[in-house]
Chains A and B, each alone.
Chain A
Amino acid sequence: MLPRAMEVGYPGAVAPARQRFVRSLGLRLNVVEWGDEAAEPVLLTHGFYDHARSFDTFAPLLARRHRVLALDSRGHGDSEWPDAYTWLADVLDVVNVLRDLGRPAHLVGHSRGGGLATDAALLLPEGVRRLVNIDGFGPPPEGHQAEGMRRYEGTIPELLAAFLDWRRTNVARASFRPSPSLDELAARRRQQNPRLSLEWLRYFAARGAREVEGGFVWKVDPYAARGFGPWRPEWIAPAWRGLATPMLAVWGDQPDTWGLPDPWRSERLGHVPVLETAVVTGAGHFAHIEKPGETAELVLDWLGRA
């Protein structure tokens, strides 16, 4: 498939033991698995612009006790691309993977995947036993202040007009400019995620990119980045008041562009009825990648109390 991917290794990373596709809303979604199939299942959901193989160091640690599944979100990794994106369709994908599993599972999500996991637990409470949300509490009200990221400012009608303009000109032919090598792709990604090592990002890129004429591009759908019109997390966070599943909220103690600082974190988590919190020392937004051992211990302890 990708011979280069086989050549790029990383300490502690273990490839999944099994792979299959699950259909959701007509799309073919990629699901990979580690661990004993008879063990209690845990479903992992990755963050925005990540993919299921970003769990290659974290999932094997959970797999000592669990059957661990990881989903490529629609438009990400090896899952198919839809015509368009909505938050709800992504949440239903998680619900449909749980249904396909046929038995209740734990849900562990990172970043955007943490938000999806939380909303999936709202939609399918009987299918989710315990929930872990790793720094997936939504962006700050004004969005993440990341270097080099285009920001869309204006009134709400202006924001919709900008979305309509972008869609009219770009959706049908959206594509990335190829990087000449995987190393360069990893280096470019590091500008967005400076806390992640180049060695890890090479491993990540080897599984999250494909070869095209002129080099390598991420497998992710460029349209997935553009969103779906004006959107504010505070419109959906209050619904967390209806959450029947206990949540462990995890974040790192290091400042990171992609995290959600207080007061917003406390405000959003204030809606969760049954909540425990845990802070991973020395980690930023990617606690499960930066400190996989410590994060896995926290998660295993929480799931063990089910």
Chain B
Amino acid sequence: MKLASGRGEVALHELRPGPGPTLLALHALGGSARDFAARAASWPGRVFALDLPGHGDSAWMRGGSYSPELCAAAADDALAELGDACLLGAGLGAYVALLLAGARAARVPGVLLLPGRGLDGGGPAPRPDQAVEVRSADALRMLEARGAKERAAFDPMLRACETDPRPPEYARAFADEAKRLLLAEDGGARPPWWEAARAAASAEPAPSDPAAALALLARAAAAPGRGPAPRS
């Protein structure tokens, strides 16, 4: 279904009908709702996946303005449509899920973060090639506007999300508010924002196998929720 979101619209896909608890899945940079088709069966309730702005069947943002916060705004529109829901996010979608789980803690009983593309740079130590990357994304988008034959799978300006300058402590503030925060760990490297979230009192490691991690999320979200960590 198409959802009005800000001045545009986004596509929300129902992957698994249901009774049972709701799961909203948010894909990685360059992905789409389809990335979760195979995983929907691991969840005991209904499953929805959102095409983030500029991805899949969702509209490209007029003017090329993208940020994790604006992606969170689209996910917030989906949450308003669905009611309370657990969140599953990969890469950029994991960061967006973390923001929403902290800002809308009363409506998100649990969140599971998976690794994936997006937001592995930025913060206090931006990669030296980021300016070049942003300019090339901008140039690609100009080609798109001139009617390049092959339309990109996603708006190249979304790569600007990679350069987001907000520091790891910013992500930590949301992790501290989240009710249940599960991070899929496989021993691989994680970006600084992930490591900051991992240090929050509410954070728990989850298996790297997505089906096992989703089962854990379902159990965690069904258990009596613990409140947000006390503020120091």
**Which A positions have Cβ atoms within 8 angstroms of B?**
23, 25-27, 74, 80-86, 88-89, 92, 95-96, 122-124, 155-158, 160-161, 163-164, 167-168, 171-172, 228-230, 235-236, 238-239
Contacts and interface: CB of A to CB of B under 8 A. Distances in A.
Contacts of A84: 6-7, 61, 63, 65, 70, 73
Given A164-B103, A228-B70, A83 B170 contact: no
A25 B65 CA distance: 9
B62 A82 contact: yes
B67 A239 contact: no
Given A23-B145, A235-B165, A172 B4 contact: yes
B80 A163 contact: no
Contact of A83 (B8, B72, B104, B124): B8
B25 to A, nearest CB: 19
B118 to A, nearest CB: 15
B168 to A, nearest CB: 11
Contacts of A158: 103
A95 B157 CA distance: 14
A294 B17 CA distance: 70
A83 B69 contact: no
Contacts of A172: 4, 6-7
B134 A88 contact: yes
Nearest to B59: A83
B70 A89 contact: no
Interface in B114-138: 124, 126, 131, 134-135, 138
Nearest to A165: B76
B63 A168 contact: no
Contacts of A86: 65-67, 70, 160
Contacts of A25: 63-65, 138, 141, 157
Contacts of A81: 63
B61, B65, B126, B157: which has the most chain A beta carbons within 10 Å?
B65
A181 B177 CA distance: 48
Contacts, number: 123
Nearest to A80: B63
Given A123-B135, A238-B124, A85 B65 contact: yes
B160 A88 contact: yes
Interface string B83-108: 00000000000000001001111000
Contacts of A161: 103-104
Interface of B: 4, 6-8, 61-67, 69-70, 72-73, 76-77, 80, 99, 102-105, 124, 126, 131, 134-135, 138, 141-142, 145, 157, 160, 163, 165-167, 170, 173-174, 177, 231
24 contacts: A23-B142, A23-B145, A27-B62, A81-B63, A82-B63, A82-B64, A83-B6, A83-B61, A83-B62, A88-B163, A92-B134, A95-B135, A122-B131, A123-B135, A157-B99, A157-B177, A158-B103, A161-B104, A164-B104, A168-B77, A171-B7, A172-B6, A228-B65, A229-B69
Given A26-B63, A168-B80, A230-B170, A83 B7 contact: yes
B59 to A, nearest CB: 8
Contacts of A239: 126, 165
Contacts of A82: 61-65
A272 B76 CA distance: 39
Given A25-B65, A26-B145, A238-B124, 7 more contacts: A25-B63, A86-B66, A89-B160, A156-B174, A157-B99, A228-B69, A235-B166
A61 to B, nearest CB: 33
A95 B61 contact: no
A168 B5 CA distance: 8
Q: Which 4 pairs from chain A and chain B are nearest by CB?
A: A82-B63, A25-B64, A229-B69, A156-B173
